[in-house]
């Protein structure tokens, strides 16, 4: 059973890791290419770039965690390495929620028009608040791993801390940290989606009254709402997988352990797919890349098939 479990985990890692790495690296590559060309990234693009980098970090920490579980428990520095893995993993998880909230705020400020003077003032200063918003998200995301580590009561003989283990966690400290770093950005994202949906409905109503009014704007509204909703849903599912795994002790080697791993490894890839299809620049780059690959494959395969056919006719 242990051998089969190891094989299944290894196959999942081999299949899902390259997919997530390629997708998120392509997001980073597109914006780095624009930066080299002197093209300035927009407000939402800066957040999307940060999300791509963060999803790569999540995947790296998960890979290191599983490699450590299989091969590193007997290392002399196992306790320090386990501490670093926990800190990095929970920091990245918390940051993913805050970055989703940041992107939702950016979309909301772009799409929604309110009569509030404060809202309009923030909207006019959107380009100035993105960098402080990202720095705030990074700084506040450290609260979750730090409080969780302080809440864990480690035995003197225990050298390995599981990423999802809470059998020895002081929930009185962890629950407020979860509420602040997960529930709060989730609520912010929900509010932004709600305001954007109201703006979308108003836009549709204007279009019914005047069919020539802003069809491209309607497409932008629908795309932004869809992106925000899907990112929030994926983050919520990811959070439920981790939290439910916390309630099950001694799950190592079980089917549920494989399900948790699959959910953790698929999340960065799914998030990247949503970002790519929700951004015209990223989608265009992917279409060009796929077209280029298909063209190169055609140049290689078609002559080979043609030559093989001629050889068969000569025979």
> Which tens digits make up the pLDDT trace of 255-306?
777 777 788 888 888 888 988 888 888 888 788 877 776 777 666 665 655 5
- Which range marks the domain in which residue 206 is found? 2-278
Residue 53's pLDDT band (boundaries 50, 70, 90)? very high
Asked if residue 27 and residue 8 are part of one domain, the reply reads yes
Q: Are 103 and 228 in contact (CB under 8 A)?
A: yes
Asked if residue 301 and residue 220 are part of one domain, the reply reads no
Asked if residue 179 and residue 308 are part of one domain, the reply reads no
Query: What's the rounded Cα separation, in Å, for the pair 255 and 252?
Result: 9
Burial category of 53 from C-beta neighbours within 10 Å (exposed 0-12, middle 13-18, buried 19 and up): middle
Asked if residue 291 and residue 252 are part of one domain, the reply reads no
Please tell me the total count of domains within the chain: 2
Asked if residue 74 and residue 7 are part of one domain, the reply reads yes
Averaged pLDDT, 66-78: 68
Averaged pLDDT, 191-215: 74
Inter-residue long-range contacts of 8-12, CB under 8 Å, 24+ positions, other chains counted:
8/258, 9/66, 9/258, 9/261, 12/258, 12/261, 12/262, 12/265
Q: Would you tell me the crossing angle of helices 184-209 and 78-111 to the nearest 10 degrees?
A: 20
Averaged pLDDT, 21-28: 89
Which segment of 30-39, 58-67, 212-221, 265-274 scores lowest on mean pLDDT?
212-221
Give the CATH number, domain containing residue 187: 1.20.1070.10
Asked if residue 293 and residue 173 are part of one domain, the reply reads no
Asked if residue 239 and residue 121 are part of one domain, the reply reads yes
Please name which of 225, 131, 224, 148 lies closest in space to residue 182, comparing C-alpha atoms.
Answer: 148
């Amino acid at each position: 059973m242990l051998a089969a479990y190891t094989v299944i985990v290894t196959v999942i890692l081999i299949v899902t890791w390259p997919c997530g790495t390629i997708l998120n690296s392509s997001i980073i590559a597109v914006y780095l290419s624009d930066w080299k060309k002197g093209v300035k990234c927009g407000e939402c693009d800066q957040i999307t770039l940060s999300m791509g980098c963060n999803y790569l970090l999540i995947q790296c920490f998960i890979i290191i965690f599983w490699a450590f579980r299989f091969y590193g428990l007997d290392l002399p520095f196992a306790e320090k390495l386990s501490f670093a893995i926990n800190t990095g993993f929970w920091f990245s998880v918390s940051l993913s929620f805050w970055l989703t909230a940041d992107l939702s705020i950016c979309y909301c400020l772009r799409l929604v028009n309110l009569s509030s003077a404060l809202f309009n003032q923030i909207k006019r200063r959107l380009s100035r608040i993105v960098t402080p918003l990202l720095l705030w998200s990074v700084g506040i995301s450290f609260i979750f791993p730090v409080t969780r580590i302080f809440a864990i009561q480690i035995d003197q003989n225990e050298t390995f801390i599981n990423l999802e283990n809470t059998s020895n966690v002081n929930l009185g400290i962890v629950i407020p940290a979860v509420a602040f770093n997960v529930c709060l950005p989730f609520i912010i994202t929900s509010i932004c989606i709600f305001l954007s949906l109201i703006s979308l409905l108003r836009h549709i109503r204007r279009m019914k009254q005047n069919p020539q009014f802003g069809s491209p704007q309607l497409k932008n509204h629908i795309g932004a709402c869809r992106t925000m909703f899907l990112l929030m849903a994926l983050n919520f599912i990811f959070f439920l997988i981790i939290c439910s795994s916390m309630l099950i002790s001694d799950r190592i080697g079980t089917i549920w352990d494989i399900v948790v791993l699959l959910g953790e490894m698929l999340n960065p890839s799914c998030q990247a797919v949503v970002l790519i299809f929700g951004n015209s620049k990223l989608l265009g780059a992917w279409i060009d890349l796929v077209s280029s690959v298909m063209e190169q494959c055609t140049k290689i395969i078609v002559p080979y098939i043609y030559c093989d056919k001629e050889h068969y006719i000569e025979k």
